Structures are given as structure tokens and as C-alpha cells.
Structure 1
Amino acid sequence: MQAVDLNLLLALDALLTERSVTGAARRLGLSPSAMSRTLARLRRVTGDPLLVQAGRNLVATPYAEQICGRVQALSRDAQAVLQPAAGRLDLASVHRTFTIRAGEGFVEMMAAPVMAAVAGSAPHVRLRFVAKPDKEPEPLRDGRIDLEIGVLGTAAPELLTQLLFRDRLVGVARCGHPILAAGAVTPERYAACGHVVASRRGEFHGPVDDALAELGLSRSVSLVVPGYPDAMRVVRGSDLVAAVPRTCLGNRLTAGHAAGLGLESFELPIRAADFAISAIWHPRMQADPAHRWLRETIAELCRKAYP
């Protein structure tokens, strides 16, 4: 590739279009003498005269006529590739599959609205939601996933983020549970209940236990399940209680979700800080128009769902 000069491709396109050294020079903003030298280079590179004198005009050789259409197409493609990506997105013609790593709660609450919004604008775009066993950055770095939704849990310095909404833990119990029948839930009454915990790593101990310990209390965790939706299903059919993100109970786009599940929520009687849910991506996707559109679509839906 050392002998390849893409400027020659653009010059050849101009010469074959104009059939004139002067016209080609004007098109490319060069002097006629510079264009003459470029034509000489093209003749050496291709081994063909390309354009020859016929009276006062230049005419194309058979080889030049043969490659004319290909040269025009290659010239357009080269210029398109080297132009800024912004402003060239035609959603109707985008054929892409985006892989999104997200927790079960986000998938349950937001996958359907996101897919509806995507399909309405980009009918050939497909989404693949995958499980989130950890928060390692490698799948973002090597392209196995395009976007992550959740709490930033890695120190990878290059990852980019956009805040989608803030969340916090609340308690949930089945409708009619005794903990809901006697006014405000106290730390003592909360700790005395049986508990189900959601943990991807299968851990029985978590931040709720640390907060109870600060009050000199402990709880009995009877069951650990992989995700928050699993914990909510267990709570619905038992006397166990759980702590889940508030957003798992529904949003402006899924009104009445918790009631439909037969659950009631209550404020946790312990110190529990809120946390940020963000979109997370690798810098190599930052300028990609379709990826940027997907990020903006998800962010707008989250603003509507969790104002």
C-alpha cells in the first residue's frame, strides 16, 4: 500500500468527469499545471494514457471508460468514510443489533418501552438484553456488549457514563402482611421479620445488614435469590420481606405494577443512601451516530418513567 495515494483517486474521478485538465483543476481547487502533473502520475500508476488529445478536447481511453463508474463510486465512498459521522444517520436504513447488559429489574420495567421506541424510529434495529453477572469492563472494551445500564462498579478510567435516574431501596411485603398493619415500620419490627435477599453472588450479608448493625440489630435471612424480580415473586407468596430498588415497583410508563403483583411497599426504617443508575459505554462508541441515538432514546424514556 506504500504506492497508493487516495488523492489520485479523487483526481482521476475529477478528470474522468470533466474530461478536461482545466475543468478538473477548477473542481479540486488546483492549478492547471498541478493537475497536469497529477495526470502524469496517474498514467504512470495505471500504465494507461487515460485521457488523450482529440483535436481541442480530451477523450477517454477504453480502459478509462471501463473504470469510470467504479472510480466515481470509490471516490464517493472514500469521501463519505472520511467525513464527520454526525448528521448522516438515516434511522430507517440502519440494520444493527445492539447488546445491552442490564439487571433484571431494568429489563422487566423498561425493555418493552425501549423496544417500542426503537422500533418506531428504526424498524431494522434489534436489541439483545443480556444478564449482568458482574460489572467487569472487559465486555465493553472488546465489543461483546455495546451499552450497560446500572451502577458504575468498576474503576476503568476510560468508560463514559450518563446519569439516567437516581434510585433507592424500599421494603416490600405481600398485601396483608402483619408488618404493614401496625403503623410505621420500626427497625425492630423490620429486623424481626424473615427476609429474602437478592444477590447475584449468592451472598446473605449486604448493606441492609450493615445499617441494622449500626442500630445494634440483626435480621434473619432465610433465602437468597439471583435478582430483585425473583425476590418480589417470593415475597408475594410468603411472609418474607425484601428490600428492592424503588424503580422495581413501577414507573410512569407501568403504573400500578406493584399492586398488580400483590405487593405493598414501605420505607425502610434504616439509613439507606440512594444510588445512581447510569448508561455506561466505551469511548470507541462515543461518536457512533446509531449508538448515540440509542443512548439518547433510553435516556429520554428514563426521564419520562422516573422524573
Structure 2
Amino acid sequence: MTRPARDEEKYTGIWPVMLTPFDERGEIDWVSLEKLVEWYLAAGVHGLFADCQSSEMFFLSDKESRELVGRIVAQVDGRVPVVASGHTASGLSQQVEQLGAMAQTGIDGLILISNRLALQGESDEKTLATLQQLTQQLPATVDLGIYECPWPYKRLLSDDIVQWCAASDRYSFIKDTSCHLPTMERRLALTQGTRLHLANANSQTLLASWMAGCHAYSGVMANFHPQLYVWLFENWRSQPQQARRVADYLATAAMIESLDYPACAKYWQRKLGNFTTMQCRVRGIGAFNDSFFPAAVDSMARLGDEIRLQALRQ
């Protein structure tokens, strides 16, 4: 079923940060990518975030990034909206060229990376000035967003930047990685009545952030059990007691992220039959395989299946 695309609903719900499957040679595995896309969609997700940190975008060439996103957009074919980044360049002119090319892939939203806007230690004023220059030079035909990517360093957006984005009417999506409910509540107040949507990346604060008015979840754990996140988003108001149980499980299960992500997620995707390898470009997989990590992922998944079945019976 095609999701509604009205502006107030378009950037709500569950938005997995997509993995990139690689073959044994370290090249993109296109067949596995097709399986992954259909797996997300079968789970009922509301949108996809392609070519992000989980996609190992800093380890993809610009050509690979554009082909990756172009194939995803073509396969999805409007079933859900797709946003993408690939914003890895440093110089302003290179960023304009890189982002402008990504905007031509057919995506609904183009996501800027906050730490590309200024060097670590530079001021928020420099960040805003760069953002304003970039915004002026990017196509007005595509929605814009910002992701507070933690690597190579995390730059959280100042209130002035959030307010400017909201007032500009160009920005529709912020992926918040503050992991701090009061910060999200402040940002929601600053953007109230605008088209800017706040997507929480943090499972531990997720339910509380939705209760406060946050619009979406866009985090790594949707690579393990997106169905549970979809259920929680669609039922937390009508089934508050069961929603609290699901949210408590998701908050605890999200600690798996610390076990050599994205290797742990690729392990799970291989176990599901979507991926043929666990190959990563960002890290080796030997430490994951030679540890208790696989058993921990398996235990988390088994318990998650029980929680999901209980929720569906309500």
C-alpha cells in the first residue's frame, strides 16, 4: 500500500538508516540490496534513509553513492519516500557539486551532514553561514534535511540553526542525535507550525519523544526489527500499556548497537538470508565473529519475536 505523501505526514513514522551490502571483494552486492529494500518495505516502514553513515557513505565513491541511491529510488518506485545524503566532501564548492548531483537521483529529500558545515572547534556562527550558502546553491526542487552524524565528530545544531531551518521553508527533516529529551522538546517548540519534522535516532528516549510531539524514528535498530518500531509508532496512543512494554524492550535491545555495528546488523541480515556476506568497508568483521556478539544478537532477536507476537495478539 502506498503511504500518504501530504507534507505534514510525509516525513513521519519509521525511517531505517539503510545498510550497504558488499560481496567478498568489497564491492556493492546489488542482489542483496534488492532483498534488503523489499524486507524494509514488507515491515511497513514509512520511508527510507539511503546513503547515510549506516550505509558507510564515507567509504563509498561519489559514483557509487549516486548509483546506490538511484537503484533504491527506482526499486521503491514511490511506495515510500526516500531521502539520501552522501554528503562527505569538505570544501564548499565540492559540497555543492556532490549534493547537487545527489539531488538529481529522484530522491524526495536531500540530507546535509552537520559536521561537514564547519570543522571541529569552529563556531556555530560558521556552521550557519556555511549552511546558508549551501542552501542558496542547492536545487529548490528537492526537500532539504540535516543529520547530526556522529562521525568523524558529532556537531549538534544550535537553536539558532534549527530556527533558521524552520523559517527558511526549505528544510523538512532533522535527524536528531542529541539523545536528550529536553533538547528535542526545545527543538519541537522552535519548529512548531512549520514543515520541519524531527526524527529521533535514539531508542531509549523514543516513546517519550513521540509523546512530546516528535515525528519519526530514524535509527540503526530498524535494521534488526523494523516491524516492532512500526507497531509502536502506529499503536502507542491506542495501546499504551503494551506500547510501554515494547518500548522498554526496544530501549534495552538497542544496546546491541555497541557490538561492532554495522557488522552486527550485517550478521543479522545474512542470517535472515538477505545478505550473502557480513563484509564492511568501515571495519573488519573478525572481532565480531570471534566473540560472544553473534550469540547476543540471536538472543535479542528471539526475545524480540516473542514481544512482537504478544503485541500483535493485543
Q: What TM-score, normalized to structure 1?
A: 0.23
More helix by share: 2
More strand by share: 1
Larger Rg: 1
Q: What TM-score, normalized to structure 2?
A: 0.23
